[in-house]
Amino acid sequence: MIGHAYAAGDRHGRVHHYADEIAENFSVQPDRLKRALVTLESEDRPRIVIVQNPEPRAKVGAVTFFSSVWSKSYGNVGTPYGKVHRDYHYQCLFSAIVALVEVGCERIRVQNPMSGYLWRRDAYICLMEAFRNVQKNMNRRVSVHGEPGSYNERMVEHLNLHQPDFNMQEHRPIGTHMHIFEGLNMRTVFVENSVASMRKS
């Protein structure tokens, strides 16, 4: 099955432009999904919402939305045009991919957390780290792809997982709290920086 991971909102404060279409196709009330996406963008901690397709033979099995770079939670740790906060990016992307894998998706397309822009190198590294660690720890058959036109083809070549000089971080535990928001599966992601995480382990 195919899964999609989308940033919940954009720099203008609007929720994802596919929200209505996804709600209609996935038998969810549009207003309910939009309220969930507003929550993802307006809360102090990053969150994930997963919407599963009720049709068991559907080509796209599920969609996850994650708090974007434009969200309040990202504003608590960094700024959209500043240095990439890699702990935030990694933990949100990993959590979004894991949610899709858990419901059976193996081909996953991920949108840039800074929706509408090209991937920044450090953010793309986080996606590659998340992908590698999901493969290693959950399902080796999983494949992850960026949205067409959202990245430079050379970036993919340079960040090839088989390059020996490319140093990616190993996975560390990520705290998540699962709860139901207006009938939707929502997860709060507890972002820690790598130094704090290592001290606790």
Residues 112-127: tens digit of each pLDDT? 888 778 788 788 888 8
CA 90 to chain centre: 8
3-state secondary structure of 21: helix
Q: Categorise residue 174: left if φ over 0, alpha if ψ from -120 to 50, beta otherwise.
A: beta
Going residue by residue through the chain (201 aa), what tens digit of pLDDT does each one get? 999 999 999 999 999 999 999 999 999 999 999 999 999 999 999 999 999 998 878 889 999 999 999 999 999 988 888 888 888 998 999 999 999 999 999 999 999 888 778 788 788 888 888 888 898 888 889 988 877 666 666 666 555 544 445 566 666 778 788 899 989 999 999 876 654 433 432
Q: Supply φ then ψ for residue 60, to 5 degrees.
A: -95, 115
Domain assignment of residue 114, given as a range: 2-200
Query: Hey, which residues does 187 pair with through a beta bridge?
Result: 48, 178
Order of strands, edge to edge, in the sheet holding 143-146? 143-146, 107-110, 2-7, 60-66, 47-52, 184-190, 175-181
Q: Token match 């000089």: residue?
A: 165
Angle, helices 121-137 vs 86-102, to 10°: value is 40
Gap between the Cα atoms of 17 and 5, Å rounded: 13
Q: Token match 């949108």: residue?
A: 111
Domain containing 163 — which CATH number?
A: 3.40.220
For the chain, the first-to-last Cα distance in angstroms comes to: 35
Per the structure, how many domains does the chain have? 1
Gap between the Cα atoms of 43 and 154, Å rounded: 36
